[in-house]
Amino acid sequence: MDDFLAARLQMAFSLGFHIVFACIGMVMPFFMSVAHFYWLKTKKVVYKDVTKAWSKGVAIFFATGAVSGTVLSFELGLLWPTFMEHAGPIFGMPFSLEGTAFFIEAIALGFYLYGWDKLNKWFHWFTGVVVGISGLLSGILVVAANAWMNSPAGFDFVDGKYINIDPIKAMFNEAWFSQALHMSVAAFVSTGFAVAGVHAVMILRGKNVLFHSKAFKIAAVFGTVAACLQPISGDISAKDVAHRQPAKLAAMEAHFHTERNAPLIIGGIPDTANKKVDYAIKIPGLLSFMTTGDFNGEVKGLDVIPKEDHPPVAVTHYAFQVMVGLGVAMVLIALLYFLALYKKKQWLKSRWLLKLFVIATPMGFIALEAGWTVTEVGRQPWIINGVMRTSDAVTPMPGIAYSFYLFTAVYISLAIIVSLLLYRQITMVGKLYDSTSKLPKN
Amino acid sequence: MIYVVIVFLWTSILLYILLGGADFGAGIIELFTSKGNRSKTRKTMYDAIGPIWEANHMWLIIAIVILFVGFPKIYTTVSIYLHIPLVCMLLGIIARGTAFVFRNYDAVKDDMQKLYTPIFVYSSLITPFFLGIIAASSVSGQIDVQAKDFLSAYVFSWLNWFSVSVGIFTVSICGFLATIFIIGQAANDDDRNFFVRKARRTIYTVMFCGALVFVAAYQENIPLANWIFGDTLGLIAIIAASISLVIMFFLLQRKKPRFLRVLAGFQVTMILFAATYSHFPDIVLLKNGTNLSLLIHQGQAKAIDTLGYALLIGSIFILPALVYLIYIFQQKKKLPETQ
């Protein structure tokens, strides 16, 4: 394996790992705070139990997310020093603010986890909310930094030099809003569906049903509402990408030729050599409409982009299809759930609805990874879109392959241990958290 | 504004050594505690560091962000030539950060604990060891940016007696901070006496390891003695640290754990001050005799300005919250001592 590929794979693995933990770490505090709020308001012990159980999950995910994030901040330099040398001062602003947000999150988490019965109960609840808000903020800030790589701004690139740096302009680059919105909603969708799915399994097994039902409902409401909002943010993102990064959009859609009345391509196998897509469903004019608002609008194809600047079409296209497909599936489940909530109450007790949620457990995270693949692979061969090539940014140190193997092994073992830990947390609910199940039956 | 940024950089490194160091020390003294006393030490330590555990970690991230935003050339030079020890340190950080949480939050306490505990204690040892190596290597003048072969570019830049001895010294400092810290957390007199005995031994260790650093520096022709004794401020700092160490030694048995903590913090601050002040503003010394200076290799003015403001604004939010966090969780612990 050559060093460049190894560096890219190591970065992909590190980010792919971190992204899951970071999302759960930033969304679960909201679930926890809602349950906590119900406990303070209704005095129903089950809500306190759910809060405590979730707070353990938050602690585990926060710690794993924090260390993997620390690793990333070093890996940027270890793997891409040339990139960091130039980009660091330009897009560093969101990172320095993110440091603050993350710091506040860590402090608030200290208060929250150790503050039971020590702090004023509403202040204690408030620290939980702060964990969520600062976590979400740090997520938004990191994505703003990534958006800069897609939409570089806040500097002039003259004769290979990066001058007139304006970090504020760089932070509020054109892509920051659409990307941060899409990513934040995605975090809620994926975590909501994953948590709801896990509790659905336990309800189906008939274990601590009251406890898991309350937990399920909170997570499901967050996940389903977010799932229905996601297509809107997706649309904003697509229009934005079409305007800023036509090459990425063309790769996402496997759109080889510039044309008006461009069809939306669903599925299919891109054939890069012959510049066509086999076995795809094509909806005439829809791509033009979605990106330009006009069925006859012109959509740039890969043909207007120099060959050496083409992103890998197949990977980007498949990843995009997976993301959209799973997104649509989750919207459908969400609609069924809303129908059940408001019109067909009897459905809520039915096993099929819970089973749908069980099936959907990993969907959000697969969609999340796929979406992130679209963003990152779709930007290639650029590390800073249109300015610096990824291959020019890589470290001169040889032997990165070994580092890649090492980190991959570490991440895989961590993933296994965290899964085991969560499994044990969930199966121990009856013993550790669910005080209602221990009440004597009369 | 550049000085504001430098002060923040130095302070976050110091706080990482002090707070994070006490943290690492927790694992280190667990390793060097006999089996019989281990669970007592572990429990006392956990109660003390649990609430601020996650926050301690953040100082390192702040320092790194300051480096890559404000001093990108320095950040990338270190990243390239000290890649290997940085990776070792990162593996330590991953292993330690997760093992600590896994150990305390696993729903079932069973044989898995036998896995978490060794990971925790050994990574507590490895992480500050490599941190010390990285710090020492950046000033040891062994980084050779003209080197063509792998060993001289990426291995000998950090693998030398001086760096290794500073690594060992850093480990001993962490152990020292933790033992002093834990005295104030002792639940009863017996425990306190036990921790005081332990503290005495760590003080001897620190002194021995400190001496080792000077021997290694002499061996590698690094003008460490000149840096520290040739500079008035550096000399004052070292003398102040030594005097306070002697005071501390005699006060160990007295029941003034807070005062001991202040003294320990003071000593480490003075050591870091003496070690960095003499070659300031140079932070990375290269083999070809040129140095990377915080003042010359700073980023463009606008980047430094916004970074400075971001840090100032951030600290308004962070510092009061952090102080309150430490304060509130120390409240309960103080009660037994006054009895």
- Cis bond upstream, residue A306 (ω within 30): no
Q: What is the pLDDT of residue B184?
A: 78
Q: What is the pLDDT of residue A189?
A: 95
Give me A285's structure tokens: 């004019």
Contact A99 B58 (CB under 8 A): yes
Note down pLDDT in tens along chain B; length 339 residues: 888 889 999 999 898 888 888 888 888 888 887 777 777 777 777 777 766 766 777 888 889 989 988 888 889 988 889 999 999 999 998 888 888 888 877 777 777 778 888 888 898 899 999 999 998 888 887 888 887 888 877 888 888 888 999 999 999 988 888 888 888 777 777 878 888 888 888 888 988 998 898 898 888 888 888 877 877 888 888 889 888 888 888 887 776 777 888 888 888 888 888 888 877 787 777 777 787 877 777 778 888 888 888 889 888 888 888 888 878 776 554 434 333
Q: Which of B60, B300, B306 has its CB closest to that of A168?
A: B306
Closest CA to A2 of A373, A378, A395, A407: A395
What is the greatest pairwise CA distance in chain A? 83
CA distances for B233 relative to A132, A136, A324, B22, B255, angstroms: 46, 45, 64, 26, 32
**CA gap B269, B263 in Å, rounded:** 10
- Stretch A104-129: mean pLDDT: 88
Interhelix angle B21-31/B35-49, nearest 10 degrees: 160
**CA gap B146, B139 in Å, rounded:** 17
Which residues, including other chains, have CB under 8 Å from residue A53's CB and lie 6 or more apart? A211, A215, A425, A429, A432, A433
Contact B61 A397 (CB under 8 A): no
Contact A70 B60 (CB under 8 A): yes
Mutate to test the interface with B, among A74, A86, A141 (most CBs of B within 10 A): A74
Instruction: pLDDT band for A200, please (50, 70, 90 cuts).
Output: very high
- Stretch A40-57: mean pLDDT: 89
Question: Would an 8 Å CB–CB cutoff place B332 in contact with chain A?
Answer: yes
**CA gap B216, B132 in Å, rounded:** 14
Q: Which residues of B touch A166 (CB under 8 A)?
A: 302
Residue of higher predicted confidence among A96 and B334: A96
Give me the residues of B, 95-154, that contact A with CB < 8 A: 95, 97-98, 100-102, 105-108, 112, 150, 153-154
Mutate to test the interface with A, among B46, B59, B66, B83 (most CBs of A within 10 A): B83
Phi, psi (deg, nearest 5) at residue A88: -45, -55
**CA gap B51, B182 in Å, rounded:** 15
Give me the residues of B, 23-62, that contact A with CB < 8 A: 50-55, 57-58, 60-62
What percentage of chain A exceeds 90 in pLDDT?
38
Question: Would an 8 Å CB–CB cutoff place B302 in contact with chain A?
Answer: yes
Residue A36 predicted with pLDDT over 60: yes
**CA gap B199, B33 in Å, rounded:** 12
Q: What is the pLDDT of residue A408?
A: 92
Q: Token match 């194809």: residue? A: A301
CB of A49 closer than 8 Å to CB of A434: yes
Give me the residues of B, 206-225, that contact A with CB < 8 A: none
Cα-based angle A240, A284, A271 (whole degrees, multiple of 5)? 80
* The dihedral formed by the CA atoms of A264, A270, A273 and A275, expressed in degrees to the nearest 10: -10
Q: Which residues of A touch B61 (CB under 8 A)?
A: 69-70, 73, 99, 102
Instruction: pLDDT band for A439, please (50, 70, 90 cuts).
Output: low
Q: Where are the alpha helices (DSSP H) in chain B?
A: 2-15, 21-31, 35-49, 53-70, 72-81, 83-105, 112-139, 150, 161-183, 189-219, 224-229, 232-251, 257-277, 301-338
**CA gap B21, B83 in Å, rounded:** 22
**CA gap A299, A287 in Å, rounded:** 8
CB of B182 closer than 8 Å to CB of B44: yes
Q: What is the pLDDT of residue B334?
A: 43
Q: Could you list the residue range(s) of the whole structural domain that residue B36 is in?
A: 2-338
Residue of higher predicted confidence among A156 and A193: A193
Q: What is the sign of the dihedral through the CA atoms of A259, A264, A269 and A270?
A: positive
Contact B54 A63 (CB under 8 A): yes
Question: Would an 8 Å CB–CB cutoff place B328 in contact with chain A?
Answer: yes
Query: Tens digit of pLDDT for each residue in A394-435?
Result: 988 888 999 999 999 998 988 888 888 888 888 887 777 777
Q: What is the pLDDT of residue B331?
A: 58
Residue A285 predicted with pLDDT over 60: yes
Query: Tens digit of pLDDT for each residue in A337-382?
Result: 988 888 887 887 888 888 999 999 999 999 999 999 999 999 988 9
ipTM value of the model? 0.86
Q: How many CA atoms lie within 13 A of A19 on its CB side?
A: 23
Fill in the amino acid letter for B258. Answer: R
Q: Which of B112, B306, B322 has its CB closest to that of A93?
A: B306
Minimum CA–CA partner of B155 in chain A: A397
Q: Token match 């020390």: residue? A: B25
Q: Which residues of B touch A106 (CB under 8 A)?
A: 54-55, 57-58
Q: What is the pLDDT of residue A442?
A: 43
Q: What is the pLDDT of residue A260?
A: 87
Q: What is the distance in angstroms between the Cα of A26 and the nearest Cα belonging to chain B?
A: 15
Q: What is the pLDDT of residue B50?
A: 67
The per-residue pLDDT of chain A, averaged, comes to: 88
Q: How many CB pairs under 8 A join A and B?
A: 202
Q: Which residues of B touch A108 (CB under 8 A)?
A: 321
**CA gap A27, A54 in Å, rounded:** 11
**CA gap A86, A111 in Å, rounded:** 38
Residue of higher predicted confidence among A295 and B289: A295
The pTM for the full model equals 0.88
Q: What is the pLDDT of residue B51?
A: 67
**CA gap B188, A1 in Å, rounded:** 59
Q: What is the pLDDT of residue A438?
A: 62
- Cis bond upstream, residue B281 (ω within 30): yes
Residue of higher predicted confidence among A51 and B288: A51
Cα-based angle A209, A215, A218 (whole degrees, multiple of 5)? 140
Please count the structural domains in chain B. 1
Q: Which residues of B touch A68 (CB under 8 A)?
A: 94
Q: What is the pLDDT of residue B198?
A: 85
Q: What is the pLDDT of residue B335?
A: 39
Mutate to test the interface with A, among B78, B89, B325 (most CBs of A within 10 A): B325
Q: Which residues of A touch B79 (CB under 8 A)?
A: 74, 77-78, 81, 84, 395
CB of A251 closer than 8 Å to CB of A381: no
Residue of higher predicted confidence among B31 and A8: A8
Instruction: pLDDT band for A334, please (50, 70, 90 cuts).
Output: very high
Residue A209 predicted with pLDDT over 50: yes
**CA gap B3, B9 in Å, rounded:** 10
- Stretch A76-86: mean pLDDT: 90
